[in-house]
Amino acid sequence: MINFFGFLFKILGWSDGGTPDKSESKYIVVVAPHTSNLDFVFGILYAYQLGFKIRYFAKSQLFHWSTAWFFKFFGGIPVDRNKKNNLVSQAVEIIDSYENLIIGIAPEGTRKKTKKWKTGFYYMALEAKIPIALAYLDYKDKKAGIGKVIYPSGDIEKDFRIIEEFYSTIHPKHPSLYNKKII
């Protein structure tokens, strides 16, 4: 039986482009390219139709008393992005505190065009000893999926070349806002 989210996902014309191996209990899910607010909507629909409860880190300032319920309902975990704090260490502590956890991260950090990706997601996965799943929304083919899972080797340049190659064929909502060179 298709759940409500699966129904909505399909009625909007999207299809499943691949699901992850469920052998691990924790993942960092890279969600890219991120060029539109719709990425969050379609990403949540995709995850929920699969039965995944995706969590994500968000700056603690978003968790104001009037909006905290919304961000928490959709999986938000507040983190302090103050420069005095080590966000990677803070994230690894949070990851270690869960038995099962799927954390979605948009490594561009914005919907605007960037020169390169932020690397925090990589170091979180490396330090927490968990895999990185490469999720995508291909707007040309209207497919969402997780196409590859990698285990960080510690050689960020080598691993980022693999990631860059994977995303080189994905079509974002706004191609002019996506820099295919991520490193």
Tens of each residue's pLDDT in the chain, 183 residues: 458 888 888 899 998 888 766 778 899 999 889 889 888 888 888 888 888 888 888 878 888 889 899 888 888 888 877 656 688 888 899 999 999 999 998 887 667 887 888 899 999 999 999 999 999 999 999 999 998 899 999 999 999 999 999 999 999 999 888 877 787
Decide if 183 is inside a domain: no
Residue 54 lies in a domain: yes
Pseudo-torsion of CA 101, 113, 38, 74, nearest 10°? 30
For the chain, the domain total comes to 1
Residue 59 in any domain: the answer is: yes
Question: What integer pLDDT is reported at residue 2 of this predicted model?
Answer: 52
CA distance 134 to 136: 7
> If 0-12 CB within 10 Å is exposed, 13-18 middle and 19+ buried, where does residue 102 land?
buried
Strands 15-16 and 101-105, by their bridges, are unpaired
182 falls within a domain: no
- Contact between 182 and 164 (Cβ < 8 Å): yes
Host domain of residue 153: 4-177
